Amino acid sequence: MYRKVFFLSLCAGIFSAVACIVYQRVYFFALEAEYSKLVNIGSLMGMCVLGCMVAGIGFFLLRKYLPKNGEAIFNLGFVLLSFGTIIFPFAISLPLDIKAPELFPGLTVPMHFFPAMGWFALRNLFIKEKGNI
Amino acid sequence: MKRLVYPFAALAVIAFSAFTVIKSQDWKISEEYSIKFTSQDPSGVFRGLKGNVSFDDKNLAASKFDVTVDVATINTGNGMKNTHAKSAKWFDADKYPLITFTSSEITSTATGYQAKGTLEIHGVKKDVVIPFTFQNNTFISSFDINRMDYNINTAEPDHGASVLKVEITVPVTKA
């Protein structure tokens, strides 16, 4: 089981990182807002993979110790945590040589939801179970 | 003919004396300038420095600064803070879009120079003395400003620092 969760976490991390990188490029071409000093391929890949791997540990533990409701709690928790972390792009003070910090949350807030979206999109490809419906 | 000698002599003296008036050196502000303000909270920078800089260390009497800073260029590194800083509660950038400084006298000091003049922020004019140095074609200045003196959010004296340290570095080239 943990092997499946591990690869689900890894793939969801890479998948969401690719989505973040695509979004970053689109955002740059649309608004010419350049934050590559802070938000770049390395940091996006690292944060997305790290986030999904930590989520994977949570998923595994919740499923193990709460087999009935563990996944529902995990899904809710993942979404709430993703939502809760959007405060950081608004609160952070960027280096003063970066222009237009007003546009920084517009770049990074959507990215906070990409790991959860990646996870939910790939979850059934890795863990196939018969539903109760 | 003799009667015309003195009028011509007077004209000659006036004409030659006109060339003896030494004009101070004009300088063009380089794009690499920085205007930083620091405090416990907030800190940031301004851009949008424009104006006339006329300075000659050998002729301080003819030297003069007449510069403006665009308030809307304030950058604290945080978008929300920038918006607040430009709002009516703080700088009120729509009503008072410029910070201006016009010198009235520049004198030398033991450590460099000082410019006496009028600093206008938020529509409030104050007579100030700004110390500065000029080396390698760069003006460097550091001084404190109390926002209360300029009626900036006086209703909340404890909301952020009242006294901010301003550090200005302005490289210039001969105009």
Q: What is the pLDDT of residue B125?
A: 96
Using the predicted structure, report yes or no on whether residue B40 has a pLDDT greater than 80.
yes
On whether the CB atoms of residues A111 and A35 are closer than 8 A, the answer is no
Determine the 3-state secondary structure of B172 from DSSP: strand
Tokens of A63: 């499923």
CB contact under 8 A, B83 and A102: yes
Strand partners, B51: B67
Give me the architecture of the B23-174 domain, per CATH.
Answer: Beta Barrel (2.40)
Q: Does the residue A13 lie in any domain?
A: yes
Q: How many domains does chain A fold into? A: 1
Q: Which residues of B touch A102 (CB under 8 A)?
A: 79, 82-83
Give the integer Cα–Cα distance in Å for B49 and B67. 7
Residue linked to tokens 């004296």: B157
DSSP code for A36: T
Residues B85-89 have a mean pLDDT of: 94
Domain range for A45 is 2-121
pLDDT digits (tens, 9 = 90+) for B126-162: 999 999 999 999 999 999 999 999 999 988 888 888 8
Q: Does the residue A132 lie in any domain?
A: no
Q: What is the pLDDT of residue B111?
A: 93
pLDDT digits (tens, 9 = 90+) for B48-70: 999 999 999 999 999 999 999 99
Give the integer Cα–Cα distance in Å for B33 and B70. 14
Give the integer Cα–Cα distance in Å for B14 and A122. 91
CA distance B132 to chain A (A): 23
DSSP code for A111: H
pLDDT digits (tens, 9 = 90+) for B102-111: 999 999 999 9
On whether the CB atoms of residues B81 and B57 are closer than 8 A, the answer is no
For chain A, what percent of residues have pLDDT higher than 90? 85
How large is the ipTM? 0.75
pLDDT digits (tens, 9 = 90+) for A41-82: 999 999 999 999 999 999 999 999 999 999 999 999 999 999
- pLDDT band at A2, cuts 50/70/90? confident
Give the β-pairing of B26-29 and B44-46.
unpaired
CB contact under 8 A, B78 and A101: yes
The secondary structure of B82-126 as a DSSP string is: HHHHHSTTTT-TTT--EEEEEEEEEEE-SSSEEEEEEEEETTEEE
Q: Does the residue A129 lie in any domain?
A: no
Give the integer Cα–Cα distance in Å for A102 and B79. 4
CB contact under 8 A, B76 and A93: yes
